[in-house]
Structure 1
């Protein structure tokens, strides 16, 4: 491999927030022509380090040295696109090319198309970004970063919302970029990606370097997990679930949504965890939307919590539905408010539990009980925006647990969280089912479905083509069912 030298060197970085030390003497080099993976639990200090390296946050102590003429581009886990602007406008938000004082859309398109093609993103540049699927929005953000022609590219959980085919394309792009001498800092929770992509890996734990720039060939996944957690993660324990012998809380019968679902029928019984899986646009996520009252059906019938099909999310909540979305900041949280305000927003304000004017002390007490149950790092009065991504997701869980739901709908519930938080989330899912809730879950991580589900429904082009359960329920079997079903449908 050609040696391009160090693009960035960080040494002795310290950063504290209100007496809590987020970074404790962290350092690392980033070399041109290499993908350097950065991993660690939520709250380990990764986000703080990324912000310091990208220049958006000052360290309390330490130095960051950059090679001459180094341009840095960062793609954050939480998208920073303007949903009401077009793809073109989002790709050139600052200093767009002009001709005679006017925006030069031709120059913009000529610059953008090769980058979009390299990412395999086929979209109309005039489309508003808010109309794109989440995966295409994430690729748009990556394209915007590449258009800056950086010497250092920082990718924070870049594949958390991408289907497998898009991940493969991104990996090919990274190989091309490193071949040009670009340094890539790759922040991820998917350790398999680390082993495929990175030349080096650094692990942070509790704000300190637990593993420093190890060569990929010298470590394996168990060693990375041990470095992250200081031991082995708690593994979800499979159990024989007790399915409650009552009318199923979730029943869809012959449900259709034009262009999205066609004659879909399934049930989820109390005490059962059922997964839905499919390629992008297969209809599995639309099925979740129907259960949650976010999408109306054109034909068919259903029964959700004994009340028929809900006509809105409010109807669904009143029927006992809890909905944990994949985009927690957009749909799940009030990030500028305290944890207790978020966790009580549905149970009190939405359902009126606790009376017209419950005391703030009582609401905070209830929140403290939930956060302790979820092992959340943060107190009831902490502002949600200051929590790590994994702890923000726990706040979303706490908000819905407070409603004591009969039906729990989870859309990618562990997207962007570390293996420790993931295990805790899976523990909670098991507890919900054990308590008699019906759980319906979608995930971009097929291994997650095999770990927590009793059975998985595979969707292809709006129809259920297969149900996978028992000994056959493996991520490989799900992938085959999704791909073969799509090939057969095509």
Structure 2
């Protein structure tokens, strides 16, 4: 270990089954410093954090701790808050082994210990109030306070700002300065490269379980260099597209649309025969735009026209306007898992749109389903139970359900999430066929490569606004990643 290091990890290896999550990763954490850890989904960040915190043992490699770190330990604040909204702030601060006096909880001792920590974080709250009454930002700071009450020498913050407002992020910046001023080493895991440039003194990039950039000083790198480290030096591969966009009024029009806390003056159109992507980091507003088109989110200002029927007030109204919505969470929103394929595939066209009459024959519905499953090359018959199909075939059932409505507008939220490469290619083929058939397609994806493969153009969202558009020869994964992250660093 070097002087000043609180922790030094060397050659960490970890495999799950046949998948190597970490492949010889190194990292060091210094006292009084914020060290950012970044990488794409699946790069190995979570596995590294689990090993450093002691919740998972590595298959190989070593983790060395300075004497101070062995005494104070490591505290982790995870992305998913592990708090109890129905308990008080005090009870959340002391979930384990709270101070007692004569066998009873010593609330006075709890509050005396907590107040200076809360003050240090700028959190002015009554310890006796219910945690659920606090805004999300204060709940996040409460979890950090709980970690600090353990007096750790190393603090791991895993995506701490994924659901915070800009004002709350400013507060967190002050908190980080306070913590590093006390000599605490902070490992800051994030996908917001803006925050790396703003908060961190050093940055490590993981790619495919290996270190692609090791402890670089913040002043020595910029956003494009970080993106290259995350993605690798992949040569740009422009995708030539030859789709015909229909003339006439666009099926999707948003004009100066605002949604409190999510969208601000957003304007765009999607024409018939066009595939338009929306991209941004978590909370950027691109998913809110999809929800507006689908009738799932109300607007506070602006004008929306979907399918020539104005603003849909509900998902049912959107469906009647010709909208199909394929959600990212198929198990929660897209499927009736214990029902047969034919029941799922005809649910919207029959129950919501009434196609086939009040009581269509089962034979007719099964025949319709067979046509759809043939078109989608689904491995399974109309009478198969959906839960027994593979994940990829379940996703095809979701597509079948919406294709049965003969949609004019198709909204896709991460349509190939959790499916293999073969099914992904099938989904992309279907998207192309929908656009070729005259549908207007609007798609969001956490996989930027997917957007470059299927879209004619991609709108880049930052903090609820569209800050740019990538299209034509420039529409490559690298260029899109740079656009998303560079937009974050713009003033204002």
Question: Structure 2-normalised TM-score?
Answer: 0.62
Aligned to 2:378: none
Cα deviation digits, residues 362-390 of structure 1 (max 9, x gap): 9745748999x9786763999xxxxxxxx
Q: Is 1:379 matched with 2:420?
A: yes
Counterpart of 2:20 in 1: which secondary structure? Answer: strand
- 1:229 aligns with one of 228, 231, 235: 231
Aligned to 1:6: 5
Cα distance in structure 2, aligned partners of 1:287 and 1:374: 16
Distance 1:111 1:199, change over 3 A: same
Shift of 1:79: 3.2
Cα distance in structure 2, aligned partners of 1:139 and 1:193: 17
Residues 278 and 286 in structure 2, CA contact (< 8 A), matched pair in contact too? no
Counterpart of 1:148 in 2: which secondary structure? Answer: coil
- 1:215 aligns with one of 217, 220, 225: 217
Aligned to 2:325: 322
Residues 22 and 206 in structure 1, CA contact (< 8 A), matched pair in contact too? yes
Distance 1:138 1:209, change over 3 A: same
Shift of 1:186: 1.4
Distance 1:195 1:290, change over 3 A: closer
Residues 275 and 441 in structure 2, CA contact (< 8 A), matched pair in contact too? no
Cα deviation digits, residues 342-373 of structure 1 (max 9, x gap): xx9997486379476457669745748999x9
Aligned to 1:450: 468
Cα distance in structure 2, aligned partners of 1:181 and 1:174: 11
Shift of 1:189: 2.3
Distance 1:256 1:228, change over 3 A: closer
Residues 23 and 48 in structure 1, CA contact (< 8 A), matched pair in contact too? yes
Aligned to 1:78: 80
Cα deviation digits, residues 144-178 of structure 1 (max 9, x gap): 33333221111122223323332222122212211
Distance 1:115 1:445, change over 3 A: farther
Shift of 1:199: 2.5
Map 1:60-209 onto structure 2 (within 5 A).
60-67=59-66, 68-105=70-107, 107-109=109-111, 111-112=113-114, 114-120=116-122, 134-209=136-211
Aligned to 1:19: 18
Deviates further, 148-157 or 288-297: 288-297
Map 1:41-56 onto structure 2 (within 5 A).
41-56=40-55
Residues 249 and 407 in structure 1, CA contact (< 8 A), matched pair in contact too? no
Q: Is 1:351 matched with 2:351?
A: no
Unpaired runs of at least 5, structure 2: 350-367, 371-381, 400-411, 472-485
Counterpart of 1:59 in 2: which secondary structure? Answer: coil
Cα distance in structure 2, aligned partners of 1:429 and 1:111: 56
Residues 277 and 442 in structure 2, CA contact (< 8 A), matched pair in contact too? no
Cα distance in structure 2, aligned partners of 1:252 and 1:347: 31
Cα distance in structure 1, aligned partners of 2:206 and 2:418: 17
Count of residue pairs brought into register by the alignment: 413
Residues 12 and 61 in structure 1, CA contact (< 8 A), matched pair in contact too? yes
Cα distance in structure 2, aligned partners of 1:477 and 1:7: 31
Residues 33 and 184 in structure 2, CA contact (< 8 A), matched pair in contact too? yes
Distance 1:52 1:122, change over 3 A: same
Residues 277 and 455 in structure 2, CA contact (< 8 A), matched pair in contact too? no
Shift of 1:14: 1.3
Aligned to 1:424: 449
Cα distance in structure 2, aligned partners of 1:409 and 1:378: 17
Counterpart of 2:468 in 1: which secondary structure? Answer: helix
Aligned to 1:389: none
Cα distance in structure 2, aligned partners of 1:381 and 1:345: 23
